[in-house]
Amino acid sequence: MWISVILKIIISLVIIILGHQIWNYLKDTYSVKKTKDLVGSQIQKYKTILQDIQDKEKDKDNDASCYQLVEYNSDYVDLKKDLEHFLQEMK
């Protein structure tokens, strides 16, 4: 009686261990391993953020120069009108 119980326990453990080994073999052989590059991905994110900031600063500088040109032109037009008005009054 005790021999049959011990034999069933041993057979059950062998089946469980064998099933586990087969599962690990199949998993390692037929699945694609995923590796995550923690350092490289963070460096790449930092570079893209830095590039975005530099692009925005360039755009801001370009926009500022355009606004300065518009302001310069509008000041020039105002001065021209004032001068014409002054000359009209002098006549």
Q: Is 20 helix (H, G, I), strand (E, B) or coil?
A: helix
| 31-85 tens-digit pLDDT | 888 877 778 888 888 888 888 888 887 777 666 555 555 555 666 667 777 778 8
Single pTM value for the model: 0.40
Which residue type sits at 25?
Y
- In this prediction, residue 24 carries a pLDDT of 95
Alpha carbon distance 20, 1 (integer Å):
29
* Tokens describing residue 25: 């073999």
More confident residue, 2 or 58: 2
**Cα–Cα distance measured from residue 33 to residue 82, given in angstroms and rounded to the nearest whole number:** 77
Instruction: Average the pLDDT over each of 7-11, 15-19, 24-28, 49-53 and give the range with the smallest value.
Output: 49-53
Residues 13-21 have a mean pLDDT of 97
* Domain locations in the chain as residue ranges: 1-32, 35-91
